[in-house]
Amino acid sequence: MAQSFGDRLVAAGQKHGRLCVGIDPHAALLEQWGLSDTVDGLREFSRTCVEAFAGATALVKPQVAFYERFGSAGFAVLEETLVALREAGTLVVADAKRGDIGSTMAGYAAAWLQPGSPLEADAVTLTPYLGVGSLDPAIKLAAEHGKGVFVMAANSNPEAEAFQTSDIDGRMVSQRMVDECAEYNLGAGIGHVGVVVGATVAKPPVLDRLNAPVLMPGIGAQGATMQDAEAIAGEVSHLVFPSVSRSVLAAGPDVAELRKRASELAKQV
């Protein structure tokens, strides 16, 4: 077995600060940076982000959807971005939110987690609402190669929160998701089956038993603060990685300003 993704990420957090920076090249941000909403603009945006964050940030999270909208040419840029970040020693989570069953889930797992895959990342986000057990192919492949997964557990949009806080057998749906992920991390130093919990959720699940990293979006532009993240984290704040995108990317396209903004936020965690 390779070293746990959780151990690798916590070590990166100790070195760089516990921050995940998103790469979200949506059309409005490309325009804000003075770039065209084309593959060329996408490539320049991504290269700038790599230059700013590679080797200086604990975790970087490209949002796959903003590459996928350009088809195969967009995926080619994503492949370049993943390779450049990982060659610099920076951990990367592909924000792909995949989820399915059986051989299809195995296909998604191979795409994002198999060593040598064109889209190889260190971790991938997954959607568990076909059941956490349906994610087994990705969870097992990740463990085999020292990679990780982040399972969507508690999201802050109103539609998700209404469902995810519903009661099933005395537990919120989101809590059940966290608890089932925790079972995969038993006996590990720091496990590889993490979760995503929004920093703005009104009724967050308890994270004490998870024993794995927690991605926590919602800081900054979405209204939450680092203090909100710490309150949700409770006793496991050392495992929580606040995820920021717009509040850092607004400093672009200047590389020094992007790096400075990310560094300032990382020091607050």
Catalytic residues: 97
Q: How far apart are the first and last CA of the chain?
A: 31
Measured CA to CA, the distance from residue 120 to residue 153 in angstroms comes to 24
Contact 143, 174 (CB under 8 A): no
Q: Output the CA–CA distances (angstroms, integers) from residue 84 to 49, 51, 60, 79, in the order listed.
A: 10, 9, 12, 9
Contact 96, 124 (CB under 8 A): yes
Measured CA to CA, the distance from residue 113 to residue 137 in angstroms comes to 10
Going by C-beta distance under 8 Å and a sequence separation of 6 or more, which residues neighbour residue 140? Answer: none
E strand spans, the chain: 20-23, 59-62, 91-98, 123-126, 148-154, 167-168, 171-172, 193-197, 214-217, 240-244
3-state secondary structure (DSSP) of residue 36: coil
Measured CA to CA, the distance from residue 178 to residue 195 in angstroms comes to 7
